Amino acid sequence: MMSTIDKIMVIIVGAFIVTALMVTSSAATQSTFHLLPTGSALPSDEACRAAVASDNVEPRPANSTANNTIPPASFLAGYRSSIANGEGGADARFLQRVDGQFAGSTDAVLKWASCKWGFDEDVTRATAANESHWRQPGVGDVDSGISLGILQIKARDYPSTCPAVAISQSPAKVNDPDCYAYRSTAFNAVYKLAQQRACFEGGVHYLTERTPMPGYPTYTNGSTTEMMWGCVGWWYSGGWYDAGAVKYIAEVKAHLADKPWLHAGLDGSD
């Protein structure tokens, strides 16, 4: 039997371990990267990689393979050739910076991509919660373009990210060697945020022709915050503060307020 002193020591050590785990988790998931205004110089890959090196928070162990899959030079050469004239609204100056050269936990991936493109990491986390509950193996919109991965890149609209699915419109093709929207969490996240940065910088020119719902600014005429949220909504609807975008923005904001990544489960199912 343990003595009273031994029992006290166990309690103290146990309390210390719990406290240490809580501090580690809190430190890794606290918001470090925030929105950089239009025209800002963006951090380098190296700076962002170093900044998230200590983040090992992993609420989705099933993402492990994709979190550690980095697109090779052979794929990136073909990718850069295919987006030389832009894709899906963004021009090549944004998309050429997409490479997915990062491996780490799911949270670290989202932070790294947010850092690289100058976005608030919590907004990225909330968007991922809304799109896939942070599941990189997620496949959606099977009957309307097939969306892939943690931030649900629609292959039909962004064919460079998974040519096999874009061409075939078959979810069975997600395991094609060049389907990095599905195979690599880092590529998925950094590509999506490249499109979002292009939108935020006023580079999605067709949006100037879209009429927003009453009370919302026209494209490029909003405040920094309005532009950022408008571009979050654009990813879902393809429009500018239309009904679909406004509904989607509200959903992401609800996740941003609730911060499910700080809970035991991201969607209440685990």
Is residue 1 domain-resident?
no
Task: Convert the pLDDT of each residue in 2-24 to its tens digit.
Answer: 444 443 333 333 333 233 333 33
Give dist(CA 165, CA 209) in Å, integer. Answer: 30
pLDDT band at 32 (very low <50, low <70, confident <90, very high): confident
Task: Convert the pLDDT of each residue in 184-197 to its tens digit.
Answer: 999 999 999 999 99
Q: Write out the DSSP string of 34-76.
A: -PPPTTPPPPPHHHHHHHTTT----S-GGGHHHHT----HHHH
Q: Note the pLDDT of residue 270.
A: 53
Give dist(CA 222, CA 74) in Å, integer. Answer: 40
Q: Note the pLDDT of residue 6.
A: 42
Is residue 10 domain-resident?
no
Is residue 81 domain-resident?
yes
* Secondary structure class of 29 (helix, strand, coil): helix
- 28 phi/psi in degrees, rounded to 5: -75, -30
Is residue 61 domain-resident?
yes
Task: Convert the pLDDT of each residue in 152-161 to its tens digit.
Answer: 999 999 999 9
Is residue 207 domain-resident?
yes
Cβ-proximal residues to 246 (8 Å cutoff; 6+ apart), any chain: 213, 216, 233
Question: Whole-model pTM?
Answer: 0.88
Domain containing residue 123: CATH number: 1.10.530
Is residue 22 domain-resident?
no
Domain containing 85 equals 33-262
Q: Domain count for the chain, please give it.
A: 1
Is residue 20 domain-resident?
no
Which DSSP category does 153 fall into? Answer: E
Task: Convert the pLDDT of each residue in 209-228 to its tens digit.
Answer: 999 999 999 999 999 999 99
pLDDT band at 269 (very low <50, low <70, confident <90, very high): low
Task: Convert the pLDDT of each residue in 59-104 to its tens digit.
Answer: 999 999 999 999 999 999 999 999 999 999 999 999 999 999 999 9
Q: Note the pLDDT of residue 268.
A: 52
Mean of the pLDDT values across residues 245-257? 98
Give dist(CA 253, CA 220) in Å, integer. Answer: 21
Number of H helices, E strands in the chain: 12, 3
Give dist(CA 164, CA 45) in Å, integer. Answer: 28
Give dist(CA 14, CA 2) in Å, integer. Answer: 15
Q: What is the mean pLDDT of the chain?
A: 89
Q: Is the pLDDT of residue 148 over 60?
A: yes
| Greatest Cα pair distance in the chain | 78
Is residue 91 domain-resident?
yes
